[in-house]
Amino acid sequence: MIVTVTLNPALDYLIPLDQVHPGTIHRFSRGTFAPGGKGVNVSLLLTSLGVENRALGLAAGFSGKEICRLLEEQGCTADFVHMETGYSRINVKLRCPTGQETDFNGEGPEIPGPAVDALVEKLQALQPEDFLVLAGSLPQGLPETAWPRLLETCRRRGARLVVDTTGNALLAALPYGPFLVKPNQEELGALFGVEITSPLQAKEYGQQLQRMGARNVVVSLGEKGALLLEEGGRALFCHGVKGDTVSTVGAGDSLVAGFLYGYRLHGTLEGGLRWGVAAGTATAFQEGIATGDQVKRQFPAVENPHLL
């Protein structure tokens, strides 16, 4: 079983506009709502790929209920802790025909201690063969003790931890020996105060994450591809697929979902890397998170990784 946790989910309201003029009234014919958040995106793609998973997290108010309803509508098993006070953040995204997007992202709610207790209780069902994906930003209203409690619960249950977050939250997870961490090149560079411009640089700093506790590291390098640092010592680089990028939003989340799909399918980290690149590419080549069929159509175009 794969369990995803999204601590700061969002209800995204996508509005298509021909153009934006500040200070004027804009009319649009069709807006769409979508569930958002990195762990949510991982669950959406895993579900489309036919992989059993559970989407956990913290949801508040009417917007939190709508996030869960939309997840269930798309076939996901949503098992969020519901909070009656506040509401889950609402993001408004204005999209122009040129491909430009202007985002207005809200803040998450204050999170009471009992809600964290309830989420930790749900994680008590984890088994050693399970994967726990902790992905996305930590909401400002999250108690300081919550993140360590989630990490410690995973360790005690013996599940394999996958972490896709940034900054101090990522650094705090490393002593727990995560099975996989997945920074992109900007996030990896920010951890060490450098600018990463090549796979060799990514290898150097990704290996530092391994020395700090990560078992395996995948660094997404955008259109260049992705780098995998295996716990056995190999460094594998997989070139990106050439094509027209529509939006990179959710591409990193798709890489995580594709990696887990490929790892389960082939039983190898290398297989996970190829499917991860295929999934990230499929999402980058369209608006929104790719479907499982779109990922499978991209897979033949992904070259075999080579040693770096």
> Tokens for 70?
């939309």
> Tokens for 15?
């509005």
Adjacent-strand bridge partners of 90: 11
What angle do the packed helices 113-123 and 146-157 form, to 10 degrees? Answer: 10
- CA angle (72 as vertex; 69, 74 as ends), nearest 5: 115
Q: Of all helices (H) and strands (E), which one includes residue 5?
A: strand 2-6
255 and 289 in contact (C-beta within 8 Å)? no
DSSP string, 47-89: HHTT--EEEEEEEEHHHHHHHHHHHHHTT-EE-PEEESSS--E
Q: Which residues of 229-247 are buried (b: 16+ CB within 10 A; e: fewer)?
A: bbeeeebbbbbbbeeeeee
* Residue 111: closest CA among 74, 157, 64: 64
Q: Is 52 exposed, middle or buried (0-12, 13-18, 19+ CB in 10 A)?
A: exposed
> Tokens for 87?
């509401």
Length of the chain: 308
- Active-site residue among 79, 244, 253, 293? 253
Q: Is 18 a catalytic residue?
A: no
Residues recognised as catalytic: 253
